[in-house]
Structure 1
Amino acid sequence: MVAYGTEKPKTYQPRLVDERLHRLLQTFGAVEIRGTKWCGKSWTALAFGESVVHLDDPNVKALAEADPTLALQGAHPHVVDEWQEVPSTWDAARRAVDAAGGEHGLFILTGSSTPAKDAVTHSGAGRIARVDMSTMTLWERGLSTGAVSLSGLFEGSFEPSACDASLAPLADAICCGGWPALLGANAQTAAEVVDQYLDAMFEVSVPRKGGTSDMARRIVSSLARNVATAATLQTIAQDAALGDEAGAPATSTVTSYLDMLESMYVIESLHGWDAPVRAKSRLRTKPKRYFADSSIPAAALGMGPERLLSDGQTFGLLFESLCIHDLRAYAACMPGAHPGSLRYYGDSDGLEVDAIIELRDGRWAALEVKLGETKVPDGIRNIERLRQKVAANPAARNPKPAFSAVLTATSPFCRYDVEHDIYVFPITALKP
């Protein structure tokens, strides 16, 4: 049972990370909640807090810079919001945890960007746990029926059911995104807000980290165009050149901007998978890059729901982005999950499977993402090819998946395909 604190906002809507945060506060002296700006970190921290300090307040920041311990004063759990504004508070919190002699749940720190590596002297290992937070999933937004449980599939639990799934609501969901403050907003309002979010990032956050607004905009535009693909650094550099080959940024420059965007939790990498746990392909397969929320690439491409519905190819890529976002959040809630539990499969034969979920005990699942029912047979074929390859690999210690599934946008039923041993259901039926 999750126990909230006295600082809990009256309109707080429970989030998937709540149970994990509750457990970590009972195990560690402090917990850091990480994630992109505006995803709800502060409200979740407050929901568990008994006191709070906001370091993005200029007056409070000045005092904390002079004496970091001031930021730690208050009843426990004490929330230190946007701690990266005064990086020295991290070391102060770590020392306070040490001084408390094993007491748990002292501090909750929130951060929407990673400070420079030399800004803190200690990693906080053993004292400060970390939990990653995403924008809201379809389940959290009330846009999924929850008829299918991801955890249940791993345990063999599934009940067929009818679904009311269509493309138009998903187009709205993609463009509005999972921002808590935009729950119930229409697509036009959401687009204006996300545009402002991007402008603030380009004009304020990027220059703070030593980048230029113009180059960041170009690279984000390229990433949006190539979302859900393993685009090379050269491809991104050529896109950023805007047709001027001589003016293309060096790949080292592209890498620095990708690192910057990751440090601000704006983009996330999805790494490759192979069945042998020590397979070199896990390290050498190019990562796919996704945005922290599907509304970001939609805004970067200038696409609203109507335009998305008329462009099936782009819709498919942004739908995949939405599905990966939700699968990442759902997988993180599962017992036995680890930071690298969600991956994708791609090999030199051209076979690609969109999502692989692997647990610590070796169980794994393969999922393909397909926008419409007409593409389900393609997803089934890809999964069957993958299962055959894994079964034929003598180094695969667990050759058979716990389950396989095709995740769609419009399936009228949550069903089990007996012939192919594959589940088929829409993303709007899935929950953790």
Structure 2
Amino acid sequence: MVGVSIKNSLVERHAEALVAEALGDTRVVLVNGARQAGKSTLTRLTAERSDNPTMRFLDDPTTAEAASGAPADFVEHNGLMVIDEIQLAPELLSSIKLTVDQDPRPGRFLLTGSSRVLALRALPDALPGRMEIIELWPFSQGEIDGEPDAFIDAAFAHGPHLDHSSTLRRRDYLERATIGGFPEAVRRTPRRRSAFFNSYLSTLIERDVLELASIERHGELMRLLALLAGRAGGLLVPSALSNQSGIPRTTLTRYLDLLGSVFLIKRIPAWSSGHTHRVVSTPKLAFTDTGVVCHLLGQDVNRLAEPGGSAGAVLENFVVMELARQLTWSEERGQLFHYRTKDKVEVDAVIETPDGRVIGVEVKAGSTVRGEDLAGMRHLEKQVGERFVAGYVLYTGQQTLPFGDKVRAVPMDALWRARP
């Protein structure tokens, strides 16, 4: 597998196998994801294993000028062409479409993008039937540790019989959350990591967001980010955010869409069985990376661990985004939701497969689990019925404990260490 170097060791990326598989039968493959997540490294190393690859980097001004001036000539090639940061020249996509229609062999183009290319207004069409999109996230915990990252497959395979023990404690998980998964952040010391996050957010707002839309008041957007960090893991209610921030709702909705388009935040949709009218349909807010959340909150591992810290919300965000990462490569195909009723009975994460099987995941920042912590899971189990495979309370304790036939409290690092 290919990877990137962290502290002189090679970190293997799960997405590498997905890219290779896609290039084997698809004309155009797009690796899309957050800036600094490792897309350029992944695609460069993939190209090095190809015969006669052609590399194009659109963040080079001369290369970008050539792409804009003569797009048809720009995409002429034999073998595999890699175009990095395709959102900088979306007009190329029409020429790529024409090229792959004339020569439909698989593996013609490998593209990368740091914004959701399908949302670009300049996109003539999304190369339907010709392009596969693979999302590359910042490192997962399994990629950092060299572990399988197979909790979802293990959960559906073993159900309530999943058993896992751990040596990690609460502070270990909080430290992982403050570091996050960006390769550059993982490499650095805490002080230097803060400098990275400052630079990352500044570049994201001043460059990537401006590529998608004209934003005049950058400071307003940065203040919104700080406000959103305090709501990580909570319901995403634009009207409440508008009232608290003083940003008009239409503007705020536009800002939220832009922050999602550059992979900074993610909406987790609400799950419903269709049998109850008391389910909340509002999505939850998650940040792609918890290191960014902790930086925006100004909380290091010591502050998070304090009674007034944000450990609960941050660890929920941490778990939910590890699940989101795994769904891009797990054998079990599923969708990620949250569950909440109007009576505030909730489950932090729900994964449902196309055939209707469901697992629930609740996150607890503490090392003990009490009966009242399971109210949401019991409610979900009742709603799902026989399709409910199991419910898991991922907590900072060290052993798996049963809470009835289908519910287990499981150490949080089962997320990346459990095996199917």
For structure 2, the 5+ residue unaligned runs are none
Q: 1:93 to 1:386 in 2, by over 3 A?
A: same
* Shift in Å, 1:163: 1.0
Q: Find out whether 1:384 has 2:387 as its counterpart.
A: no
Counterpart CA distance in 1 for 2:407 and 2:352 is 17
Match of 1:162 in 2: 165
- Give the residue type in structure 2 aligned to 1:210: S
Equivalent residue of 1:156, what SS?
A: helix
Query: Which residue of 1 is the match for residue 306 of structure 2?
Result: 310
CA distance in 2, matches of 1:148, 1:45: 24
Aligned residues: CA RMSD: 2.5
Change over 3 Å in CA distance of 1:168–1:123 after alignment to 2: same
Between 1:50-59 and 1:80-89, the stretch displaced more is 50-59
Shift of 1:15: 1.2
8 Å Cα contact 1:380/1:420 also seen in 2: no
Kept after mapping to 2: 8 A contact 1:175/1:191: no
Aligned with 1:162: secondary structure?
coil
1:117 to partner: Cα distance? 3.8
Select 1:220's aligned residue among 216, 220, 225. 225
| Contact 1:17/1:333 (<8 A) preserved | yes
**Are 1:373 and 2:374 an aligned pair?**
no
- For 1:98, which of 84, 101, 111 is the aligned residue? 101
- Equivalence map 1:78-227=2 (5 Å): 78-101=81-104, 103-114=105-116, 117-142=120-145, 149-156=151-158, 160-208=163-211, 209-211=213-215, 212-227=217-232
Q: Distance in 1 between matches of 2:307 and 2:198?
A: 21
- C-alpha separation in 1, matches of 2:307 and 2:113: 36
Q: 1:294: which partner in 2?
A: 290
Closer, same or farther: CA 161–259 of 1 in aligned 2, 3 Å: closer
Q: Which amino acid aligns with 1:151?
A: D
One-letter amino acid of the structure 2 residue matched with residue 152 of structure 1: A
1:18 aligned partner:
16
Confirm or deny: 8 A CA contact 2:358 2:384 kept in the other structure: no
Which sits farther off after the overlay, 199-208 or 38-47? 199-208
Instruction: Please give the alpha-carbon distance, in whole angstroms, between the structure 1 residues aligned to 2:103 and 2:298.
Output: 51
Are the structure 2 counterparts of residues 40 and 24 from structure 1 closer, same or farther at C-alpha, using a change threshold of 3 Å?
same
State the 1:9 CA deviation: 6.9
Distance in 2 separating the partners of 1:85 and 1:355:
35
The answer for the alignment partner of 2:259 in structure 1 is 261
Q: Deviations over 1:2-61 (max 9, x none)?
A: 6x7xxx878753212222222222221011111111111111222321432100111110
Q: 1:58 to 1:376 in 2, by over 3 A?
A: farther
| Structure-2 change in CA distance of 1:376 and 1:25 (3 Å) | farther
Cα distance in 2 for residues equivalent to 1:264 and 1:146: 28
SS in structure 2 at match of 1:275: coil
Equivalent residue in structure 2 for 1:251, among 234, 249, 252: 249
Tell me the TM-score normalised to structure 2 length: 0.89
CA positional deviation for 1:128 = 0.8
Decide which of 47, 56, 59 is 1:56's aligned counterpart. 59
Displacement, 1:197?
A: 0.7
AA at the equivalent of 2:110: I
Change (3 A) 1:280 1:26: farther
396, 399, 406: which one aligns with 1:421: 406
Following TM superposition, by how much is the alpha carbon of 1:261 offset from its aligned partner in structure 2, in angstroms?
0.8
> Which residue does the alignment assign to 1:396?
none
Change (3 A) 1:418 1:371: closer
How does the TM-score come out when normalised to structure 1?
A: 0.86
Q: How much does 1:425 deviate?
A: 1.8
Post-superposition CA distance 1:188-245 (Å, at most 9, x none): 22122111111222333334421121111121111111111113112212332xxxxx
Q: Tell me if structure 2 keeps the 8 A contact 1:77–1:106.
A: yes
Q: Distance in 2 between matches of 1:280 and 1:384?
A: 18
Give structure 1 stretches of 5+ with no counterpart. Answer: 241-247, 392-398
**Aligned counterpart, 1:403:** 390
Are 1:44 and 2:38 matched, yes or no?
no
- The alignment status of 1:349 with 2:343, answered yes or no, reads yes
- Given the superposition, is the C-alpha separation of residues 252 and 419 from structure 1 closer, same or farther in structure 2, using an over 3 Å criterion? same
Are positions 1:337 and 2:333 aligned together?
Answer: yes
| Residues 27-42 of structure 1: pairs in structure 2 closer than 5 A | 27-42=25-40
SS of structure 2 residue aligned to 1:139: helix
CA distance 1:268–1:385, shift in 2 (3 Å): same
Kindly indicate whether the alpha-carbon contact (under 8 Å) linking 1:31 and 1:107 is maintained by their aligned counterparts in 2.
Answer: yes
| Cα drift, residue 181 of structure 1 | 2.5
What SS does structure 1 have at the residue aligned with 2:388?
coil
Tell me the secondary structure at the aligned position of residue 332 of structure 1.
Answer: coil
Aligned length: 405
Distance 2:228 2:410 in 1: 29
Relative distance call for 1:429 and 1:75 in structure 2 (3 A) is farther
Q: Percent identity?
A: 22
State how far apart, in whole Å, the 1-side matches of 2:141 and 2:319 are: 9
Distance 1:87 1:113, change over 3 A: same
Contact kept, 8 Å, 2:115 with 2:261, in 1: the verdict is: yes
8 Å Cα contact 2:152-2:332 kept in structure 1: no
1:230 to 232, 235, 245: 235
> Relative to 1, partners in 2 of residues 1:272 and 1:99: Cα closer, same or farther, differing over 3 Å?
same
Output one character per residue of 1:244-275: Cα deviation in whole Å (capped at 9) or x when no partner: xxxx2211110010011111111111001123
Structure 1 CA distance, aligned partners of 2:282 and 2:379?
Answer: 21
When residues 311 and 185 of structure 1 are mapped into structure 2, their CA distance, relative to the original with a 3 A threshold, is farther
Q: 1:403-429 deviations in whole A, cap 9, x for unaligned? A: 211112x2111x251634222222223
